[in-house]
Structure 1
Amino acid sequence: MATNPGLFTEWPWKKLGSFKYVLLAPWVAHGWYEVATKGWREVDLGYIAILPSLLLRMLHNQAWITISRLQNARGRRQIVRRGIEFDQVDRERNWDDQIILSGILLYLGALYVPGGQHLPLWRTDGAGLIALLHAGPVEFLYYWFHRALHHHFLYTHYHSHHHSSIVTEPITCT
């Protein structure tokens, strides 16, 4: 937690604990209902693919966490020659909350954004545009936002949590 936690430093579903995944249940049930009533040919596969993509993202994150901790346990090529402490593991335990948030936003976008239904699963020009947007404005904004988080007020209320992790891991960034 931050040195002096500010507004919105905790996820709204923190009190749910391990039951936080239930937040996605209505959309998953709606997707399966759509498949059961309309069939696979008429249902939006992009909507159905949200849950598997979230699960794949969680599996990917967990794989990197495991590899990182194995590297740290073996002791070779460490940035800091210290073992990971339980406080850091507990502090970084909520790495999957951002995946739940992106799942909620994807489901809401697929249902309520005009043109959000029946998008093609792959378009080369769209992939190129996304790569350019990410490499240009997104990285630029991310850099300056991170610099702003080092301002005294934002640092003590939000960002000190990030820098309190001594042993760096892939999830230290969250």
Structure 2
Amino acid sequence: MASQPGPLTRWPWHRLGNFKYVLLAPWVAHSMHKFMADSGEQRDMFNFLIFPILLLRLLHSQLWITFSRFQTAKGKHRIVDKSLDFDQVDRERKWDDQIILTALFMYMVNMVVPGASHLPWWESRGVVLIILLHMGPVEFIYYWLHRALHHHFLYSRYHSHHHASIATEPITCKGCSLSLSLCVCVCGSLI
């Protein structure tokens, strides 16, 4: 937690604890029902695949966390000669909140934006456009947002949590606050 927690430091589902995945249940049930009820070209594959993609992202993240902690425990390739302590593990245990936020955001965008689910799966011009948008405005916004988080007012309320970890891992930044995650999610959805 930040040294002086600000508003939106905690996730809205913080009190649910490990039951936070229940938030996705209505969306998953709706997408499965819609997939089964529709037929042929009417089927919404994007909406149906959001939950399996979420599960793949959780598995992918967990594999990198395990590999990183194994490397830290082994001690041959450490950048800082300090081991991972229990305080850091406890501080970073909510790494999956951003993945849940992204899934909820994807379900909502798919429901609100007409035709979002019927976009083509692959288009070369789209890939080039995504790369250019990511290299340009998204990285620019993310860089300046991160610089702003080092201002003493924002640092003490949101960003000190991130810098409290000495032995960095792939999930060190994923335990950040809701406000930063919302900014990153919105910037990432621009592409």
TM value normalised by structure 2: 0.87
Q: What is the alpha-carbon root mean square deviation over aligned residues?
A: 1.1
User: Which residue pairs with 1:159 in the alignment?
Assistant: 159
Which deviations, in whole Å up to 9, do the C-alpha atoms of 1:58-96 show, x marking residues without a partner?
111111111100000100110111111111001001110
Q: Does structure 2 conserve the Cα–Cα contact (< 8 Å) formed by 1:46 and 1:121? A: no
Number of matched residues?
174
Unaligned runs of 5+ in 1: none
User: Which residue pairs with 1:128 in the alignment?
Assistant: 128
Identify which range, 101-110 or 119-128, moves more after superposition: 119-128
User: Which residue pairs with 2:93 in the alignment?
Assistant: 93
d(CA) in 2 for partners of 1:117, 1:68 = 36
For residues 1-174 of structure 1, the aligned pairs below 5 Å read 1-39=1-39, 41-174=41-174
d(CA) in 1 for partners of 2:137, 2:152 = 25
Unaligned runs of 5+ in 2: 175-191
Q: Which amino acid aligns with 2:5?
A: P
**SS of equivalent residue, structure 1 residue 5:** coil
* Runs of 4+ in structure 1 over 2 Å off: 39-42
Q: Which amino acid aligns with 1:123?
A: E
State the 1:41 CA deviation: 4.4
State the 1:40 CA deviation: 5.5
Q: Percent identity?
A: 59
Identify which range, 71-80 or 114-123, moves more after superposition: 114-123
Q: Which amino acid aligns with 2:26?
A: P
